[in-house]
Amino acid sequence: MKQLLTLSRAARLVGVKRGALQKKIRDGELPTFEGKVSADDLLRLYPQVHLEDNKELERVTRIKTHAFARRVRDYVLPDAEVLAARLTEFGTELAEAKAKLDRYSTFVSRLKDKCVEIDNISGDELQSAMGSLSGWLHEQLEIGLLKSVHAEPLLVKDRLLRVMAANVHILPSGHEFFVEGTDSILEAALRAGLALEYGCSNGNCGQCKARLISGEIKKTRNHDFVISEAEKGMGHILMCSNTAVSDLVIEAYEAGGVQDIPLQQISARVKGLERVNDDMMVVNLQTPRMNRLRFLSGQSVTLDVGNGLKADYAVASCPCDDRNLEFHISGAKGTAFTDYVFNKLKRTDAIVIEGPKGDFVLQEESPNPIIFLAYDTGFAPLKSLLEHAMALDVAESIHLYWIVSVKGNHYLHNLCRAYADALDNFHYTPLVGADARAALERVVDDHPDLNEFDVYVSGPRRFASVSEKILIDRRLPDNQLIVGTIS
């Protein structure tokens, strides 16, 4: 029987991105069986795989960790009880593997006996004995006794990964993610870029209720929200209050679009203020632990600093970190709001966030390579989209072109370069030009046929309409052009 692996697990094992495996599936190089791939086929495509061969995965994980300012999860062990439960499961699987190995030993010893018997036979009987031996061998091979032995290193690695992380499969979407460290199921899903339904993150509201179809979970916190006995009988759980012990299949509601995200009003605190150049302030806000902002990457909110001073800004960070929000505020226009941010706002001040709004969001289900085209501060929503795309790990490749009107305005140039250094499938081209048309020519020179791409354009309305014309002329289908304008 074939050893089947989910796409996420297979990508981890061979150290490539899920998008790379999806491309091989689309190209017919990698067969799938009910959405899974076989270890044998994986080894055929990646024969060099061995236990240490995971550098790419590690590099991607590292850059994500730095980029999103998260704790270094690699060194966070799961809760001791969870680890013990996973190890028990692991032990069971090892025992099964040993039983299989015993069968192989029996087979080899019976083969040896048969060879000894044949050694003592001669004449006509020899031919018949050889025929019977050949039939027996054929039968043993047919039932797969000797197959898949070469897949062992991969399977060993799979067993080890299972101890450190459990795979969760969400129905009906088919999305998958891993639960690592001490994360709850909800935290892990958000980290993976999924827009699951939730509210308080703390066991009070019940909005993260889901149905466990299979697998074992462990409660990580007591919760005030009451799940009735009837619901418990049907497998209902709170994703914010449980973690995964084994691989899980869960039925859960996911936001299908901006219409599924509620309007929220949250009082957040200023956590960081960094003036990255003369005209640009990067503002980091932190929401209360139990009142985080649900939003989709690319969306905006209204920031209200009090005294009637408010303005709309795109969230520049990934929804996978719903508590720490980043905003890029340009002082170039010199409004009362920006004057306040540049001259009076300080750490720990309160800012009321209202939102989210806007439909400039990621086409999450599209496997197409992505081009991001930012003009000046149009970079902010694209940064959120970019980080979300990286967390989802679906796009085959991502190319960011950041065009600025004045030299020196690539205010997060080093961050973009760090992404490009760390990720093989991410490319970054900074361009300077008051005339956006000339810069856009560079983009279409790099990609003369845009038929297979998704292109996200973010900038002032004039830039958006110039881009639209040039891109459509290069065979970019209308529905693969996603435009967000800034004022």
Residue showing tokens 């979970």: 217
Phi, psi of 114 (to 5 degrees): -65, -40
Contact pattern from residue 227 through residue 256 relative to ligand FES, giving x for each residue in contact according to CB under 6 A and a dash for the rest = -----------x-x----------------
Measured distance CA(384)–CA(8) in Å, rounded: 23
Q: What angle do CA 358, 367, 35 make, to 5 degrees?
A: 120
Tell me which of 65, 204, 291, 485 binds ligand FES, using CB under 6 A: 204
Measured distance CA(404)–CA(399) in Å, rounded: 16
Q: How far is the CB of 262 from ligand FES (least distance, A)?
A: 13
Q: Three-state DSSP class for 88?
A: helix
Phi, psi of 310 (to 5 degrees): -145, 155
DSSP for residue 249: E
Length of the chain: 487
Measured distance CA(125)–CA(475) in Å, rounded: 75
Count of residues that interact with ligand FES, criterion CB under 6 A: 13
Do residues 9 and 155 lie in contact, with contact meaning Cβ atoms separated by under 8 Å?
Answer: no
* Segment near ligand FES (CB under 6 A); pick from 173-181, 201-209, 274-282, 474-482: 201-209
- Closer Cβ to ligand FES, 208 or 380, answer by number: 208
Tell me which of 68, 90, 225, 253 binds ligand FES, using CB under 6 A: 225
- Closer Cβ to ligand FES, 57 or 227, answer by number: 227
As to burial, measured by CB atoms within 10 angstroms (0-12 exposed, 13-18 middle, 19+ buried), residue 415 is: middle
Measured distance CA(168)–CA(189) in Å, rounded: 9
Q: Which of 352, 342, 273 is nearest to 308 (CA)?
A: 352
- Closer Cβ to ligand FES, 201 or 409, answer by number: 201
- Site membership for ligand FES, residue 206 (CB under 6 A): yes
- Site membership for ligand FES, residue 208 (CB under 6 A): yes
* Segment near ligand FES (CB under 6 A); pick from 16-24, 195-203, 443-451, 479-487: 195-203
Other CB atoms closer than 10 Å to residue 171's CB: what's the count? 13
Do residues 310 and 335 lie in contact, with contact meaning Cβ atoms separated by under 8 Å?
Answer: no
Measured distance CA(233)–CA(194) in Å, rounded: 27
- Closer Cβ to ligand FES, 237 or 422, answer by number: 237
As to burial, measured by CB atoms within 10 angstroms (0-12 exposed, 13-18 middle, 19+ buried), residue 346 is: exposed
Tell me which of 148, 167, 207, 287 binds ligand FES, using CB under 6 A: 207
Q: What are the tokens at 220? A: 């990580």
- Closer Cβ to ligand FES, 186 or 318, answer by number: 186
- Site membership for ligand FES, residue 341 (CB under 6 A): no
Q: How far is the CB of 290 from ligand FES (least distance, A)?
A: 9
Tell me which of 45, 155, 161, 205 binds ligand FES, using CB under 6 A: 205
Measured distance CA(183)–CA(294) in Å, rounded: 18
- Closer Cβ to ligand FES, 255 or 412, answer by number: 255
- Closer Cβ to ligand FES, 32 or 204, answer by number: 204
Residue showing tokens 């060099």: 48
Q: How far is the CB of 46 from ligand FES (least distance, A)?
A: 39
Q: How far is the CB of 286 from ligand FES (least distance, A)?
A: 18
Q: Which of residues 113-142 bind ligand FES (CB under 6 A)?
A: none
Q: How far is the CB of 300 from ligand FES (least distance, A)?
A: 24
- Site membership for ligand FES, residue 369 (CB under 6 A): no
Phi, psi of 262 (to 5 degrees): -75, 150
Tell me which of 46, 177, 198, 337 binds ligand FES, using CB under 6 A: 198
Q: Which of residues 256-285 bind ligand FES (CB under 6 A)?
A: none
- Site membership for ligand FES, residue 318 (CB under 6 A): no
* Segment near ligand FES (CB under 6 A); pick from 136-144, 202-210, 269-277, 364-372: 202-210
* Segment near ligand FES (CB under 6 A); pick from 27-35, 165-173, 192-200, 423-431: 192-200
User: Which stretches of 257-335 are DSSP H helices?
Assistant: none
Contacting positions for ligand FES (CB under 6 A): 198-201, 203-208, 225, 238, 240
